[in-house]
Structure 1
């Protein structure tokens, strides 16, 4: 059990630094709206990861096969990210940027975190691959799997808390022009992530075989 926990810790840490739209939106939210807002957003992200993890655990290879046969799911998710990124990029800044979050905003940020993570079908593919690779090494024991992935999620969240605290320190340096620049950069990052997902959806099936890719990694 201790070995499983030790193996999960570095993976949880690396997961927190996977570059994607959620990574940048978390930093932007924390820097502009503060610690509680960042935590609220991150809770939504974590909930989406847990949902994906449960889907991956109970679906495993069958869902992997479906993803390989239906790359349109990547195109759909990519299009949503693309549109979202364009909206952020072209949206004009209001006269007074709201740097404070209300209780209602916290709930909205949690939903935003959940949806932004949930529409990225690549996240589901990641958890599926991890289940397939890690499961056998844990003897497919439900208790060991629970300990491993629980540890991974906890380390992931704790690392995010440090990221939020660091981003919050930038709040005093944020002028209106800098906030606009940050949001435009954020929009571009999300646009690129959306385009990458769309391209994945148009790749030939032999280049898109997730199951084969995972088998190569495990060899």
Structure 2
């Protein structure tokens, strides 16, 4: 595992952080109404929910991935999951007001434990989050040879990218809220959906390319990146 893998992991975390949904708006709303500390407490709960889903996806698929990690058809599965997730995101027409209707209430006082639990609960009920992490693990796991150490550092870096992006949203909450009109939200969702669909399609294409050619291509890309 090298810097190229960690850089990709950080990018994945940033992208996951900007998936528009109830958690996104609740984080901004909490920051505006209760302050940065309360929003950070809420975000800790959200991240714990993501870690929980990641563990479910990892241990739930590990035995299967160990058996077929050298099977190129695995890329079809991972790519298909990401494409389906992207289509759901792309076709979702709920706007900001509709999202806020289904939000959970923010505790009246700055009870940080309650905020952590609220963040965890709101993230936990979103099954799409589990599908997203499952797709990533199915794609990334075999490329890291299902090495527990590599997997740990990869997803640790994903969480770092996710957390830093959320911190930026917390600090810029007021500015973000004024700019997130229903039209902007709709366009962001569609953009994220297209990104996931394209990425999933590229992953699926790998199943039709011999493994040695894939490894050679990745080595060339890594070498180009290092020389820049």
Q: TM-score, normalised by structure 1?
A: 0.62
In structure 1, distance between residues paired with 2:78 and 2:158: 26
Distance 1:212 1:8, change over 3 A: closer
Q: Which consecutive residues of structure 2, in runs of 5 or more, have no partner in the other structure?
A: 31-38, 108-113, 221-228
Q: Deviations over 1:174-194 (max 9, x none)?
A: 445525355224312332134
Aligned position for 1:161: 163
Distance 1:73 1:153, change over 3 A: closer
| Post-superposition offset of 1:168 | 0.2
Q: What pairs with 1:193-208 in structure 2 (closer than 5 Å)?
A: 193-196=195-198, 199-200=201-202, 203=205, 205-207=207-209
Residue 17 (structure 2) aligned to one of 23, 32, 39 = 23
In structure 1, distance between residues paired with 2:85 and 2:94: 16
Answer whether contact 1:22 1:113 (CA < 8 A) is retained.
no
1:213 has 2:214 as partner: yes
Q: What pairs with 1:126-165 in structure 2 (closer than 5 Å)?
A: 126-131=140-145, 135=147, 145-146=148-149, 149-165=151-167
Distance 1:64 1:205, change over 3 A: same
Q: How many residues align?
A: 198
Aligned position for 2:89: 84
| Post-superposition offset of 1:159 | 4.5
Distance 1:157 1:198, change over 3 A: closer
Q: What pairs with 1:1-219 in structure 2 (closer than 5 Å)?
A: 12=6, 14-18=8-12, 21-25=15-19, 28-29=24-25, 30-33=27-30, 34-54=39-59, 58-60=63-65, 62-66=67-71, 68=73, 71=76, 74-87=79-92, 90-94=93-97, 97=100, 101=106, 105-111=118-124, 115-119=128-132, 121-131=135-145, 135=147, 145-146=148-149, 149-175=151-177, 178-196=180-198, 199-200=201-202, 203=205, 205-207=207-209, 213-214=214-215, 217=218
SS at match of 2:144: helix
Q: TM-score, normalised by structure 2?
A: 0.60
In structure 2, distance between residues paired with 1:38 and 1:73: 28
Answer whether contact 1:35 1:165 (CA < 8 A) is retained.
yes
Distance 1:35 1:179, change over 3 A: farther
